[in-house]
Chains A and B, each alone.
Chain A
């Protein structure tokens, strides 16, 4: 009976993968505030904040770099992604199909889905570090890549199964879950950081800056970690969600918005999650390092448990879920575009299984900063293609949505842009030594120029 009811519900889950979202399903600004705050006050925050400490970020570099980087990210959502999302109201994948052609979109979707699986996997791993506390589970170190043993794998599989189940129920369930947890979660981050400040030597608020510089963000990286400057922090804050804003992946979410200004709702995620929560989790990790000198163990669960007790551990679990859920959902949409006839929930189930497998490897968590930067960089050129195709082409006499217009499976101009811009980024990195965090900006301009030039050549030839 229950199974029949559940199956019937799953059959009804409809996400408008290949049609514009009808007006009856549009949502107001407030709905996106909750979603963004929930999604970006999440499991990654328990990893990224501490990794800034591990990479020797300076206190003032962090405070100012995060402020400006997050501002640039919000502006990218509001002025690049949201306007196209609310005009077209289709998923990123459907939009790409019209511009790039079915086969190229399929290739993009596969890469995209895989990246989303890895990201969601890292969040399942973060949740698992909290679930493992009662079992005295040995935690991975900053330098670890492989699973620590069978108990770790069992816990990851348990967390992955539950997360996947929630994701199969569709976007509504994910949104409700995120909205409910978001305000509580940020207060837990904040409370845990405030409560441990006296242990770090902050006895009055005026002590904070001095302690921050001397004991938390000291400017000295941990052994084996590279040094982060103001510019690393600014560009990381701007580009860590590059796939979502400049890369246009959030078209799939913002197409539900009544107005383009819903893009500004991302500010809730940036300044609560990517500012307060990153600072707070950095404070917790600094205390952990102070209490466990020379210990390179890196596990958000025990760190939060030590600072906030059972609530801290619950927060890590839920934080992991609120990131993993929408990410699995997005990965499901990416694969759905390749197999449009398959049911959404079945696709999500496949995605959840890959995600859970990936989550078994701690390398995903330990190398999260580099992974997040790489994932944004690989997906970014397609965002540039959509932006140029939508806004510039009608004004310079080139055809938009060429693949739909000419019934192409591969728009060669888009293929050259994607492959060419990534190759150019690789060459820049190799020849100049520029780190991956900085490649997104030149990469976007290279992709834009390549797309205009190659489209001009191919369209004029026809």
Chain B
């Protein structure tokens, strides 16, 4: 379970940073980048809180 949560946390962080690079290289629109960031935020905090509880 911890491994799954840690993986989700890492995915959350990747979704926070990588979409901005996508915008820089014109692979993503600004709106898409903002959605991905928000998803990354939810995944990061959700998994981190659960990990702290364990």
A residues apposed to B, CB below 8 Å: 176, 180, 183-184, 187-188, 190-195, 197-198, 202, 308-311, 314
Contacts and interface: CB of A to CB of B under 8 A. Distances in A.
A187 B33 contact: no
Given A180-B48, A184-B44, A190 B33 contact: no
Chain B interface SS verdict (over half): helix
Contacts, number: 58
A310 B41 CA distance: 10
Contact size range, B:
20 to 34
A378 B30 CA distance: 45
A31 to B, nearest CB: 14
Nearest to A205: B24
A311 B34 contact: yes
A117 B45 CA distance: 28
Contact of B41 (A184, A193, A198): A184
Contacts of A183: 13
A451 B5 CA distance: 55
Nearest to A198: B24
Nearest to B35: A309
A187 B20 CA distance: 10
Contacts of A314: 41
A184 B37 contact: no
Contacts of A190: 17, 20
Nearest to A190: B17
A313 B44 CA distance: 16
Interface in B1-40: 12-13, 16-17, 19-21, 23-24, 26, 30, 33-35, 37-38, 40
Nearest to B31: A309
Nearest to A308: B37
B47 to A, nearest CB: 10
Contact of A194 (B12, B21, B40, B52): B21
A195 B45 contact: no
A308 B41 CA distance: 12
Given A187-B13, A311-B37, A180 B52 contact: yes
A202 B25 CA distance: 11
Contacts of B38: 309-311
